[in-house]
A and B are shown apart, each in its own frame.
Chain A
Amino acid sequence: MTRLNSANVELAKEIIGRYPRSRSATIPLLHLSQEQNGYVTREAMAHIAELVGTTAAEVYGAATFYEMFKFEPIGKYCVNICQSISCHLLGADELIHHAESVLGVKPGGTTADGMFTLEAVECMAACTEAPAVQVNYRHRFRVATEHFDQLIADLRAGKLADEIPAHGTLARVRQHIPADRAAGNVDPDKPVAPAWMEAAQ
């Protein structure tokens, strides 16, 4: 069963409720499904389509546009090494080669034990701290080869489990708008000037 489970359906409804049009929740719900299963399944995409009121094909079309969505299981830790210009100038190519030999896989590959997926990725907004690495989208800065080895050893030993959740979980904090504090969605089809602007006029 890889549709969204009942707890996540409740969360999905809350997320959808933050947008004037349900379809806007597509990407957040794809993240939610990836959090549940570690990757995005076809059943989940069909389920999301039902929830936001579009077709499975539209959800699939959107999902495949974005790089963070995976359509088959990957490692528990997605190890991304930045290869863009600033990291390139400071040894990213060497780090990628080193990572290939340490993990025994090429970028895109997953280790046989299912622990690591290696990716060579583009700019991760840490350019002054090159070469930069992310594990499940959490940064590691100025990663020399020996730091990389230590990082992999720590991850294998479970030492970073508190800091880095398994692949799929992006943020451990969820937005929650209390019902009594919500201003409410603003319907694009209702041409109403905001109250504070009317007051001024």
Chain B
Amino acid sequence: MTTYPWAAGYIAGDRPQIVTGRFQYEDSYTLERYLATGGYAGLRAALAKPAAQVHEDVKSATVLGRGGAGFPAGTKWGLTPAGKFPRYLVVNGDESEPGTYKDRLLMERDPHQLIEGCLIACYAAGLSQCFLYIRGEMALAHERVGQALNEAYAAGYVGKNILGSKFSVDIALHWGAGAYVVGEETALIESLEGKRGEPRLKPPFFPAAIGLYGQPTIVNNVETLSNMPWLLCNGVEAYTAIGTATSPGTRMVAVSGHVRRPGVYEIINGTTTFRDLLYGDEFCQGIRNGNELKAFVPGGGSAPWFTPEQLDLPFEGRLVGAAGSMLGSGAVMVMDHTTDIPRAALSLTRFYAHESCGQCTPCREGGTWLERILERICDGHGTASDLDLLIEVGTSICPGDFPHASSTKLGLDATPFPYKMTTICFVGPSAYAPVHSALTLFREEFEAKLSKRTLIPVTAGH
């Protein structure tokens, strides 16, 4: 195990490093270190080929989006309407999903890698201008990326006629100001246009067709783009040799909560199992104090929960989806047997209720209702009908069967991902996900908290 005081949280291991290779250097964020460790070689390799060939490489490498949905980046780049210009690149650095952090480390520790990734994407997909949207609450990331951009401009890597070629693109650093929903790509675009960050209605038009200023726009996550320099330097074969055919490469995963060694790990995609991650010597080394594992959230606060029965699933999107949850943003949150499940669900639901933008009634009202009902249950004032009310409110946000894990103990089969929803974006359903999981898998804990008072019916004559 290796840790570095300048990259708190990151734990290196004896595994391939595609995006975290420079974290070992204290000055990894400087242009000097970047160039000394192969920096901007991926850009040179890209510029030596026709743009269409670079796009083809990214497509055949199946670089999956690391933001949450896991959509292949190469395919996304190809969704812009043919011949429609200009097109823009918007980088989603608004990381704020509970449990998730990898983009913050990538921006603080290797900003030039991200910048190089942006340039490769712009070149390959014909994107004429790039906006790098960084979450407001990340002051250090702003300073590091700002400094890196200034250095890269001065050295000729960004701007006009990059490295003497016909390729010219500006990258503007943009600041967020605190709003989780802005991580949703259409809300990000609204925010970048100087408006309230409210998601746009879609389908039919996704940002690749109508995005920033009404033009075709590619929105990519920071980690996704940070993969591009390595891919261009080492080639498609080297990239797909790591991981599985459907989930190649590596991905950064933050494991937090009740484990012995919480941390951010760059793991091999597709093959690493949750058991490896939670109990493996090179990863989290088991549950704290030798406690029992009770439940874990496999993919960020929005994901339905798993129990020890799902530990042997690998980190592979389709398998995890079929098992009733999602990999989301690469965040695993672990709860041991001492966890107060209704309170943990309340913490998650409060987050989404708080972060609702307010556009859609089921989310704005429903999220708040879920939070208040949970609060009253946790405070010992809940009644049996409150448990049904939670489901009723949740069903008005997500009609039909909500995804959940299987349980031999409870005799439950899994309901696969995804859910149906009555809202524009996923914030509303995310408020319900923890409630549904907790109530489905640990109903007795809610019942134990219900008020013991007997309600006296009001009848005529009283």
A61 to B103, CA, bound (A): 29
Interface residues of B in 92-122 (CB under 8 A from A): 95-101, 103-104
Residue from A85, A181, A182, A195 within 8 A of B348 (CB atoms)? A85
A72 to B162, CA, bound (A): 45
Q: A interface vs B, CB < 8 Å? A: 18-21, 23-28, 30-31, 52, 54, 58, 61-62, 65-69, 83-86, 88-90, 122-130, 134, 136-139, 141, 170-178, 180-188, 190-197, 199-200
CB-defined contacts of A182 to chain B, threshold 8 Å = 159-160, 170
Q: Which residue of B lies closest to A30 (CB)?
A: B177
Contact A89 B301 (CB under 8 A): no
Q: Which residue of A lies closest to B258 (CB)?
A: A89
CB-defined contacts of B347 to chain A, threshold 8 Å = 83-85, 88
Contact B153 A177 (CB under 8 A): yes
Contact A176 B150 (CB under 8 A): yes
Count A-B contacts at CB 8 Å.
252
Residue from B136, B156, B166 within 8 A of A137 (CB atoms)? B136
Range, interface on chain B: 35 or more
Contact B86 A191 (CB under 8 A): yes
Contact A23 B194 (CB under 8 A): yes
Contact B351 A65 (CB under 8 A): no
Known: A68-B136, A68-B177, A89-B258. A27 touches B191 (CB 8 A): yes
A83 to B351, CA, bound (A): 9
Contact B147 A173 (CB under 8 A): yes
Contact A192 B85 (CB under 8 A): yes
Interface residues of B in 343-392 (CB under 8 A from A): 343-344, 347-348, 351, 354-355, 357
Min Cβ gap B105→A in Å is 9
A193 to B215, CA, bound (A): 13
Contact A86 B146 (CB under 8 A): no
Q: B interface vs A, CB < 8 Å? A: 8-9, 50-52, 83-86, 88, 95-101, 103-104, 123, 126-129, 131, 135-140, 142-143, 146-147, 149-150, 153-154, 156, 158-160, 165-170, 172-180, 191-197, 212-215, 254-258, 262-264, 297, 301, 331, 333, 335, 339, 343-344, 347-348, 351, 354-355, 357
A5 to B123, CA, bound (A): 39
Q: Which residue of B lies closest to A20 (CB)?
A: B213
Residue from A20, A124, A170, A185 within 8 A of B142 (CB atoms)? A170
Q: Which residue of B lies closest to A174 (CB)?
A: B146
Q: Which residue of A lies closest to B355 (CB)?
A: A122
CB-defined contacts of B140 to chain A, threshold 8 Å = 138-139
Contact A31 B97 (CB under 8 A): no
Contact A186 B194 (CB under 8 A): no
A90 to B174, CA, bound (A): 33
Contact A65 B99 (CB under 8 A): no
Q: Which residue of B lies closest to A32 (CB)?
A: B175
Contact B301 A84 (CB under 8 A): yes
Contact B146 A88 (CB under 8 A): no
CB-defined contacts of B126 to chain A, threshold 8 Å = 193-194, 196-197
Min Cβ gap A108→B in Å is 13
Residue from B129, B153, B175, B357 within 8 A of A186 (CB atoms)? B129
